[in-house]
Amino acid sequence: LGYFTFDPGFVATASCRSSITYLDGDKGILEYRGYPIEQLAESSTFTEVCYLLLHGELPNKDDLSKFDHTITTHTMLHEAMKRFYSGFRRDAHPMSTMVGVVGALSSFYHHGEDIHDPEHRKITAHRLIAKMPTIAAWSYRYANGQPMVYPKNSLDYSSNFLHMMFSMPTEEYTPDPLYVKALDLLLILHADHEQNASTSTVRLAGSSGANPFAALSAGIASLWGPAHGGANEAVIRMLQDIVDSDNDVAHYVARAKDKSDRFRLMGFGHRVYKNFDPRAVIIRKTCMDLLAKLGPDNEYQALFDTAHELEKIALADDYFVKRNLYPNVDFYSGIILLAMGIPLNMFTVIFAMARTVGWISQWNEMIADDDFRIGRPRQLYTGANTRDYVDIENR
Ligand code: CMC
């Protein structure tokens, strides 16, 4: 192999130095800037976590109120973007819309922008964090043929998103505080996760000096896949299938173990966590609390009970135990989103909204790093040896 190692899937390659997120997969530890995820989930808010990820320290009251104010000044999208939405198919998956819209924003923020100027990088981060809820909610409104709702800057981040999703010009809408809190928690838990596929994509795309909105759009595309952020949508489809099939959980577990079947238990397994995913523990509890508040006859209980049953069976099964496969962040999060009235195809969009701060913090860190250079993996060549070109008549 000469001077480089062969590492498909980057199982054992550190591609960068980073001081943002710490992850210990054996112990189930996740920390943002040194703060345990459990403490942030319990006590923080999403915009405070955004500040922490971007700046490295928790804000004081004044810092946070200035930061919140700055974010709200960037929540609007250029009016021309409204017309851009109408170029998409009505039934387009909102992730495809998001990839397009975020990429298209590079056309508004390109001239005169200098990625090597920290001040410009900061404004880029603010713009992206602020505009993602608007972009996300508008993809939903467009798909439903409903009028786009402008952001309401008197609302906090999560309330504002729910407002843009669900309010109608015909009646007053007040987001339910229970859902606002649950959404804020989900955003905190998804905000960063070191060098996962989408973050590495943003870094690699951005390492050529590309426009950050374009680099983020590449990250959103990567997140969409079912092995990554698309799993939250796939989990609910799987649970619904199980419920519809008279709860034949064992059959689905058997399918997941059968190597001739491509089916996998969605929301199970993780490249780094080999003991438990600390985010899944918090989300399961939040899900239980939320459903308890909705009462025993709530329509999501069957999905939760099935998920719980699946978890119990799988965790007692040799196949999953030997391979260290546990429920991950996506296993219970979808049930919370469904209960909030969020449609299935918006789940990964919400993941992208949360992860934006992680992507842009990592991009910023990369550009500011003294070792910053273009990302350029090598390969193990397995093709033909040198041979002479043969004229087409003689082949
Ligand atoms: N169901 C059944 N078997 C599985 C599963 C699963 N969910 N996940 C892994 N395995 C098996 C896999 O078949 C392999 O078995 P063997 O050694 O016999 O060939 C072994 O476990 C190792 O799997 P791998 O694919 O080499 O592991 P990986 O680290 O490359 O993949 C993963 C990690 C998350 C992509 C994978 O576990 C998976 O596909 N899970 C289901 C999708 C999912 O829930 N994704 C969300 C991940 S967390 C949130 C995020 O990243 O966005």
Given a contact cutoff of 8 angstroms between Cβ atoms, the answer to whether 50 and 40 are in contact is: no
Query: Tens-of-pLDDT digits for all 395 residues of the chain?
Result: 567 889 999 999 999 999 999 999 999 999 999 999 999 999 999 999 999 999 999 999 999 999 999 999 999 999 999 999 999 999 899 999 999 999 999 999 988 789 999 999 999 999 999 999 999 999 999 989 999 999 999 999 999 999 999 999 898 899 999 999 999 999 999 999 999 999 999 999 999 999 999 999 999 999 999 999 999 999 999 999 999 988 789 999 999 999 999 899 999 999 999 999 999 999 999 999 999 999 989 999 999 999 999 999 999 999 999 999 999 999 999 999 999 999 999 999 999 999 999 999 999 999 999 989 999 999 999 999 999 999 999 99
Tell me the pTM. Answer: 0.96
**CA angle 267–165–286, rounded 5-degree value:** 40
Given a contact cutoff of 8 angstroms between Cβ atoms, the answer to whether 215 and 363 are in contact is: yes
Burial letters 215-228, b for 16+ CB under 10 A, else e: bbbbbbbbbbebeb
Mutate to test the pocket of ligand 1, among 325, 330, 331 (most ligand atoms within 8 A of CB): 325
Quote the CA–CA distance of 142 and 140 in Å, as a whole number: 5
Rg (C-alpha) for the chain, rounded Å, is 22
329 touches ligand 1 (CB under 6 Å)? yes
The count of other CB atoms within 10 Å of the CB of residue 376 is: 8
The helix or strand, by DSSP H or E, that contains position 24, with its residue range, turns out to be strand 21-24
pLDDT of residue 148: 94
pLDDT of residue 1: 57
How far away, in angstroms, is 299 Cα from ligand 1 center? 30
Nearest residue to 308 via CA among 288, 293, 336, 322: 288
* Residues tagged active-site: 270, 330
Quote the CA–CA distance of 210 and 374 in Å, as a whole number: 10
**CA angle 277–246–311, rounded 5-degree value:** 15
How far away, in angstroms, is 271 Cα from ligand 1 center? 7
Q: Whose CA is nearest to atom 16 of ligand 1?
A: 323
How far away, in angstroms, is 9 Cα from ligand 1 center? 12
319 touches ligand 1 (CB under 6 Å)? no
184 touches ligand 1 (CB under 6 Å)? no
pLDDT of residue 4: 82
325 touches ligand 1 (CB under 6 Å)? yes
Pairing of strands 29-32, 21-24: antiparallel
Q: Whose CA is nearest to atom 42 of ligand 1?
A: 227
Quote the CA–CA distance of 124 and 375 in Å, as a whole number: 22
Quote the CA–CA distance of 15 and 32 in Å, as a whole number: 19
Q: Whose CA is nearest to atom 51 of ligand 1?
A: 228
Q: Whose CA is nearest to atom 12 of ligand 1?
A: 323
How far away, in angstroms, is 228 Cα from ligand 1 center? 10
Look at residue 343 and give its three-state secondary structure: coil
DSSP codes, 257-270: H-TTS----TTB--
- Atom in ligand 1 nearest the alpha carbon of residue 230: 52
Angle between helices 330-339 and 177-189 (to 10 degrees): 160
**CA angle 221–351–13, rounded 5-degree value:** 60
Query: Could you identify the residue written with the tokens 């999208």?
Result: 77
pLDDT of residue 2: 66
Q: Predicted ipTM?
A: 0.97
228 touches ligand 1 (CB under 6 Å)? yes
The residue type of 108 is F
How far away, in angstroms, is 269 Cα from ligand 1 center? 5
219 touches ligand 1 (CB under 6 Å)? no
Burial environment of residue 188 by CB neighbours within 10 A (0 to 12, 13 to 18, 19 or more): buried
How many angstroms separate the first and last alpha carbons of the chain? 33
**CA angle 26–31–37, rounded 5-degree value:** 100
258 touches ligand 1 (CB under 6 Å)? no
DSSP codes, 65-89: HHHHHHHHTT-PPPHHHHHHHTTS-
How far away, in angstroms, is 265 Cα from ligand 1 center? 8
- Atom in ligand 1 nearest the alpha carbon of residue 229: 52
Quote the CA–CA distance of 145 and 19 in Å, as a whole number: 44
- Atom in ligand 1 nearest the alpha carbon of residue 323: 21
- Atom in ligand 1 nearest the alpha carbon of residue 351: 52
277 touches ligand 1 (CB under 6 Å)? no
pLDDT of residue 171: 86
